[in-house]
Structure 1
Amino acid sequence: MAANQGSYPNPIHPSRTRIGWIGTGVMGAAMAGRILSAGYSLTIYARTPSKATSLVASGASLASSPASVASLSDVIFSMVGHPHDVRSVLLDPVSGAISSLSPGSVLIDCTSSHPALAREVATAAREKNCFSVDAPVSGGDVGARDGTLAIMAGGDEEVVQWLSPLFDLLGKATWMGPPGSGQSSKIANQIAVAGSVVGTTEGILFARKMGLDTGAFLEAIGSGAAGSKVMEIFGERILKRDFAPGGFVEYMVKDLGMALEIMDGNSDSAVVLPGAALFRQMFTGMVANGDGKMGIQGLITVHERINGVE
């Protein structure tokens, strides 16, 4: 790896690039599995080691801390739940990954987190003569398994391009701008996704109340203007009452909350987000009902409760 900030490492290749992975939840485990299947050596850290069982069985090594992962890796991915988790696994002065980065290493945070925190992580990485990319993803568990995720990358454009061999295993990466831009893009993405989920679930409930065959309804509108990736991913699951998470609904509440927080705290912005506020209120209803660990398609249950539908 290169020793100085601004000097780039050798081309990425399975035989010489060591990959680290922090976080093996639904999304993280699937994404890490694709890296491992491509022939890269993989060192992982999981706060719940049992979640890493399948990866270890496939050849990954299990480390005792994020710092240990960093000390054994050239490129380190993180995919955890909340901004406070990102701060813990990356910035903790003793156990955090940045504490043990070697000069020239590259850190990629795929967590949906706060833009300001992404900039803080980038500054800390630069102080270690390393590189940082905030690269949250969209596409759910299906996209993670199939390698079709949309990856929104913030940081040095040349570093994002250099990472292409790894990003191509996971989906399609788009450079969005300087540090924090990936996270800002993901928050905007979540506003759009939330609106699509609200519309899809409400439309299904209305169709059901009108006595329509909801399967036929989704098939009929899927190729029209109402069709969407959200409907493609979640429509059939909703009909089957399959609320298993690709990402927990509590994460959607977190992401929409960050959008509203950023707008509330930015005196230079005239943007008002009434839709995001409404969507967050509806998904918060799921959490209040004890369904925070469901997938976002479980929003249909909120519509049902409001309407007294069994």
Structure 2
Amino acid sequence: MDRPQIPLNALRAFESAARHLHLGRAAVELCVTQAAVSHQIKGLEERLGVSLFRRVPRGLVLTDEGAALVPVLTSAFDKMAETLDRFMDGRFHETLHVGVVGTFAVGWLMPRLAEFEALHPTIDLRIYTNNNRVDLAGEGLDMAIRFGDGNWQATEAVPLFAAPMTPLCSPGIAREITMPSDLAQQVLLRSYRADEWLQWFSAAETEPPPMRAPMCDSSVAIAQMAVNGYGVALLPTRLFEREIAEGSLCRLFDIEVAAGSYWLTRLSSRGESPAMINFRTWLVECSRATSA
């Protein structure tokens, strides 16, 4: 497609004047005189053979032709600015948008981000936490870390590690519990995956008590409730190692139940950018190293 030979300064002058609807403010933004802006716009109108503005006492009004041209130029200039902004320290920076289930973000990923940033200083990583419900395409995400069985439609999933769950609680409650049946006297904190406690009691060969506690869609919130002594939480110990080491959460039994694993996912229809490849490689290697 042939590209019209129109001076870039003329397009910049028009786009700025169209945003401000004022020649003087456009001149200030572009660091030129008002006469220079007016001259560039007049030259553009002559080249296109149309009027782009109507001059009124208080400023400018776009014509239909001008209104049609503005969004195209604004979008183009914004994209150029976004790309040019990535050239920092003489290197090209990539932006990577990653959705992460909150428990994984807080309990595993964030304590290790400094390592990734040191290895890949030109990748601008953007983290968006969620409660395991994510729409890669709809949310504009490059990748997402999810918990489950790895079976998501139209998605490529790379396994990271399993996260078996066991009851955790505050030290005060832990002193009241010696066997699984003692849990019937406690508040059992629940996630939206309603069968997790049932699976654990089955593994413990103990009849499950009625479940009446509030339900929460965040394991981080459930863990905090357990730390505060509100009840007993069924949580993946691997993501709460710090709290267990500090003593704010206590492990009650060796019995665990495997409810799923963590996976790094992306749309199958989309190829991997260099930033995506570097993040995947680092994440897989790091997760395997910490599993050893």
Q: Give the TM-score taking structure 2 as reference length.
A: 0.24
Higher RCO by CA contacts (8 Å cutoff, separation 6 or greater):
2
Structure with the largest fraction of strand? 2
Q: Give the TM-score taking structure 1 as reference length.
A: 0.23
Structure with the largest fraction of helix? 1
